[in-house]
Amino acid sequence: LAKTTQPISMDSYEGQEVNITCSHNNIATNDYITWYQQFPSQGPRFIIQGYKTKVTNEVASLFIPADRKSSTLSLPRVSLSDTAVYYCLGSDSNYQLIWGAGTKLIIKP
């Protein structure tokens, strides 16, 4: 049974780098791993997506090891506005979507 597991909550301070790791069990070997950000009373918003190794865009980096059993979202130099819930998303061998339960990130001044 495919499953994605992530920490329930994390906190950090402004200016720090934050890493959120998601563990994947039995996810498809040939599909993307995707991360989303959600603010209260809004829908989730796509942040970054990768297949393996490292992907970087203007807001985050995503590290995926060769075995794809985990992925780590890295947020550089966070600010108070990065306080949100972060979700990882994979899929199983039947391309069914497997969402993590979300990590509530709180950034302190």
Partner 1 sequence: DADVTQTPRNRITKTGKRIMLECSQTKGHDRMYWYRQDPGLGLRLIYYSFDVKDINKGEISDGYSVSRQAQAKFSLSLESAIPNQTALYFCATSDPQGSYNEQFFGPGTRLTVL
Q: Which residues bind partner 1 (CB under 8 A)?
A: 8, 31-34, 41-46, 49, 87, 89-91, 95, 97, 99-102
Distances in Å between the Cα of 99 and the Cα atoms of 4, 89, 95 are 6, 5, 12
Integer-rounded Cα radius of gyration of the chain: 13
Distances in Å between the Cα of 104 and the Cα atoms of 11, 20, 52, 86 are 8, 10, 25, 6
Select 41 or 109, whichever has its Cβ closest to partner 1: 41
In whole angstroms, the minimum distance from the beta carbon of 84 to partner 1 comes to 14
In whole angstroms, the minimum distance from the beta carbon of 29 to partner 1 comes to 14
Select 86 or 109, whichever has its Cβ closest to partner 1: 86
In whole angstroms, the minimum distance from the beta carbon of 103 to partner 1 comes to 10
